[in-house]
Amino acid sequence: MKIHEIFFSIQGESSHAGVPCAFVRLTGCNLRCSYCDTRHAYEEGDEMTAEQVIERVGRFRAPLVEVTGGEPLLQPETPALVMALADRCYKVLIETNGSLPLKGIDERATVIMDLKCPGSGMSEHMLWENLDALRPHDEIKFVLTDRYDYDWALDIIKTHRLSERHVVHLSPAYGMLEPAELAAWMLEPLTDEALARGLNVRFQLQLHKYIWPGVERGV
């Protein structure tokens, strides 16, 4: 498989935010989001076997590993890598953009699915069947660029009753939406319909952006 980088950092997102984590970033992505911060992973990388990847990860002595990209599900070897990591008792997260089928992913792994909002320019590429393929322990995140994205995300969450089944994160796109603005929207009174459906979402910052501002690689 083609690997862009393997590094040790603080997990910046998901319900595991703040935890030291080994990251395996695979090369290649089928989307081109407006706010993408990993364009360098579109093509750059080196071929490595699963065993070579696992050996590198083992140097960090971290129990948490995230397989990310780019888009990791573009590479057919990814499910086998995830399984091999889980077999070695790692807690494995796999971050995917939601545009490819969630097939063959080990039940022990946690999928973090990035459901693309209109502001990304890629929402039409979402594979909506993936919402039914997610397991209860999988998580969903929405990266928001403006109020339209926020209202769109809430409508999707309510329509598909996502927050009743999964942990759902709302994240401001770094440099495009001020965190305080998103926080203010989330503190607005909920409608009776939202209350009845138990709308429950989490505010999320990309912690690594604030710990290492301006650093794109290795964090």
* Residue pLDDT, tens place only, 95-118: 999 999 998 899 999 999 999 999
25 assigned to a ligand binding site? yes
pLDDT, mean of residues 28-36: 94
206 assigned to a ligand binding site? no
Token pair for 26: 């695979």
Long-range CB contacts for residues 36-45, cutoff 8 Å, separation at least 24 = 37/174, 37/216, 38/69, 38/70, 38/216, 40/4, 40/216, 40/217, 41/4, 41/5, 41/69, 41/70, 42/70, 44/4, 45/2, 45/3, 45/4, 45/5
The average confidence (pLDDT) of the chain is 93
38 assigned to a ligand binding site? yes
pLDDT of 14 > 60? The answer is yes
35 assigned to a ligand binding site? yes
pLDDT of residue 217: 83
Token pair for 94: 């796999």
33 assigned to a ligand binding site? yes
46 assigned to a ligand binding site? no
117 assigned to a ligand binding site? no
pLDDT, mean of residues 186-206: 75
Q: Which domains does the chain carry?
A: 2-211 (3.20.20.70)
Confidence of residue 209 (pLDDT cuts 50, 70, 90): confident
pLDDT of residue 213: 85
* Residue pLDDT, tens place only, 67-101: 999 999 999 999 999 999 999 999 999 999 999 99
192 assigned to a ligand binding site? no
140 assigned to a ligand binding site? no
* Residue pLDDT, tens place only, 145-184: 999 999 999 999 999 999 999 999 999 999 999 999 999 9
* Of 207, 160, 205, 203, nearest in space to 183 by CA: 203
96 assigned to a ligand binding site? no
68 assigned to a ligand binding site? yes
